[in-house]
Amino acid sequence: MTKKQYHAETLGVRAGSEATEFGENSEALFLNSSFRFKSAAQAAARFGGTEPGNIYSRFTNPTVTMFQNKLAALEGAEQCVATSTGMSAILACVMGLCSAGDHVVASRSIFGTSVQLFSNILARWGLQVTFVSLTNPAEWQAAVTPKTKLFFVETPSNPLTEVCDIAALASIAHKAGAHLVVDNCFCTPALQKPLDLGADIIIHSATKYIDGQGRCLGGAVLGSKALMEPVYGFLRTAGVTMSAFNAWVFLKGLETLHVRMEAHTKRALELATWLEAQPQVARVYYPGLKSHPQHALALKQQSSGGGIVSFEVRPKADQTQQQAAWALIDATELISITANLGDAKSTITHPATTTHSRITAEARAEAGIQDNLVRIAVGLEHVDDLKADLKF
């Protein structure tokens, strides 16, 4: 593509694509593991970094490169490092930019497996982690130490869709000499551009909305070339690599990202509004609703509320909170009972016993995750059919 300024929807379809000599209109899929060199000298130059080009698909592959370039164009990042999963993206980011004894400040509202990664695995290697409120900048400021290297947030959060002030946290992080990392999985660049708001690094689970149909696992880390260099170095050595096939699937997903996110959001807002009117629902969490605590901030940072709706079921007299939530989930016939999200098929899950089951009950309570909480990732079905499937 030329350097002309295209709209984001156009970039999703066209950016990053490179045709071979055969002139294919859809990106080619390179499933080979290695690449031949014209000479020993060229091989030495490629390995030494003095000549660009493909070497070995653990860290250089044309299909993966096209995916990286397309996603970087959409996020407005200088470089993207594609990884095998969303969790490996977080791992590569931290391992590339932090050392033993360094300190990370993280939201206590992050995904349950991310909590496990920071608390039970990275902590064993000497990383210090402090968990604070996603929405209270004063707690972030108070948590800073001379060793603080990263701030880590998900916004909106999983599953309560809390929204943090990205610009405010970026300011605090930068004054402390730290970098702000934003997991942009729920919004994608179609709805939110964290780098434009002051963030330094973006994390994606490409498994979710970037794929869009629940087919492949993948992740990505994006930022400046200077910050991505050590992240890429970790990937090159450790091999948390995105497969070429998965990158090819994600390339196709990015082509329809904007139209899909618009459709997810439209249905999610209608479903959330309907849920608020149901007497069996105690509370609904959705940034697009005026009742959401950070509704005004969400409208400022995001172009819409996104596709995730969570709500608390009001138990009947003979039910516990968990029984009420499970009864609603088990009565569904259309919505898929699975913890994945970002699919064309709507999914429903009970966070306390699935996505956040490995953190303590005390930690769940501190994060606001009650036993009667249900999360729906709104897909692309007709919203009236989704309403009918929720048999209160």
pLDDT in tens, 192-223: 999 999 999 999 999 999 999 999 999 999 99
Write the pLDDT tens digit of every residue in 45-79.
Answer: 999 999 999 999 999 999 999 999 999 999 999 99
Residue 304, class by beta-carbon neighbours within 10 Å (0-12 exposed, 13-18 middle, 19+ buried)?
A: buried
pLDDT at residue 2 greater than cutoff 80: no
Question: Hey, where are the domains in the chain?
Answer: 8-255, 258-389
CATH 3.40.640.10 fits 8-255, yes or no: yes
- Check if the beta carbon of residue 151 is closer than 8 Å to that of residue 169: yes
Main-chain dihedrals φ then ψ at residue 347, nearest 5 degrees: -125, 155
Write the pLDDT tens digit of every residue in 242-288.
Answer: 999 999 999 999 999 999 999 999 999 999 999 999 999 999 999 99
Q: What is the DSSP string of 218-275?
A: -EEEEE-HHHHHHHHHHHHHH--BPPHHHHHHHHHHHHTHHHHHHHHHHHHHHHHHHH
| 8-255 and 258-389 agree in CATH topology | no
How high is the mean pLDDT of the chain? 96
How many angstroms separate the CA atoms of 42 and 36, rounded? 10
Percent of the chain with pLDDT over 70: 99
CATH topology of domain 258-389: Aspartate Aminotransferase, domain 1 (3.90.1150)
Main-chain dihedrals φ then ψ at residue 109, nearest 5 degrees: -95, 10
**pLDDT at position 1:** 62
Closest CA to 227 of 93, 122, 76, 89: 93
How many angstroms separate the CA atoms of 160 and 41, rounded? 56
Mean pLDDT of 297-302: 97
**pLDDT at position 3:** 59
**pLDDT at position 80:** 98
**pLDDT at position 263:** 98
Mean pLDDT of 145-160: 97
Token pair of 330, please?
A: 């088990």
CA dist 42 → 34, 47, 50, 57, 62 (Å): 14, 9, 9, 17, 18
Tell me the residue ranges of DSSP E strands in the chain: 79-83, 103-107, 128-132, 148-154, 179-183, 201-205, 219-223, 281-285, 308-313, 336-337, 347-349, 373-377
DSSP secondary structure letter of residue 197: G
- Check if the beta carbon of residue 356 is closer than 8 Å to that of residue 112: yes
CB atoms within 10 A of CB 229: 13
CA dist 126 → 102, 150, 209, 336, 360 (Å): 8, 15, 33, 40, 22
- Check if the beta carbon of residue 159 is closer than 8 Å to that of residue 355: yes
